[in-house]
Structure 1
Amino acid sequence: MRIGEPAARTGATPRQVRFYEAKGLITSTREPNNYRDYSETTLGRVQQIRELLGAGLSTEVIRAILPCMESPPRDPIVFDGVLPETVTALEAERDRLTERIDILTRNRDAVAAYLGELQQRAR
C-alpha cells in the first residue's frame, strides 16, 4: 500500500510515516516508480509507535523495544553490547511510565466517581 493508506488508517500523516521510516522504526519497499510500498503489518507498527510516542517515549527507546512487542519477535532482539547506561535509561523510562499510569488511574477514578455522583443525582 502507498504511504497515504497507512497514514489514513492509523491517524498519522504521510510526513509522520516517512519520519518513522527515517528513524528505522518501520520499513518499506520501493515500487518501480520509486513510490514507497508498505505491508499490512506496517499498520499495527505505526499504531504502536504513535501510542509509545504519545506516552512520551523517544524514538530511540521505541526502536530498542519494538522487537519485544511482537509475538514472536520478527526483528532480532539485540542483547550483545547493551551498555549499563541503556539499562539504567530503560529502568528510568519504565519508572516514569509507571508514575504516569498511576496519575492517570487516579484521575480516571476521580472522573468516574464524579460522573457516578452526577448520574445518581439525575435519577
Structure 2
Amino acid sequence: MTGPAGGAPPALDRELHHPTRLALAAYLSACGEAEFAVLRDYCQVSDSTLSKTLSALEKTGYLSIRKGHLGKRPRTWASLTLTGRRALTRHLAALEDIAATARRAATEADGATGGGCG
C-alpha cells in the first residue's frame, strides 16, 4: 500500500497493530494507571492473554508495569510511557491517513465514473 500521491505507506506501528494492544494503549492513554483486572475486563481477554500483551508492550518500552499489594493481595498496574503515548499518536495518525486516502479515492472514483464504489 502506498500513501497519498504514491508516497511511502502510512507508518503503522507493528506493536500496536493488534486490536488488543491498540485497545489497551488507547485505554491507558486516557488514564494515568490501571489495574490488571480493570484492563482484562475492558479488553475482554483472559488473564494469560493480558499478561502476554502487557509483557510484549513493556519490552518495547510502551508500558510501565508496577507490582505491589493491596492489603494482602498482589496487584499489577500498568501505565503508558511517554514512548508509548508517542507511538500511539503516530499509529492513530497513520490510521487516519489511510481512512482519508480511502475517502479521497472513493470520491475521485465516484466523480470519474459517476457510479462510485458500488
TM-score by length of 1: 0.38
Kindly indicate whether structure 1 or structure 2 has the higher relative contact order, using CA contacts under 8 Å at least 6 residues apart. Answer: 2
Q: Where is the helix percentage greater, Structure 1 or Structure 2?
A: 1
Q: Which has the higher strand share?
A: 2
Given the two structures, how large is their TM-score scaled by the length of structure 2? 0.39
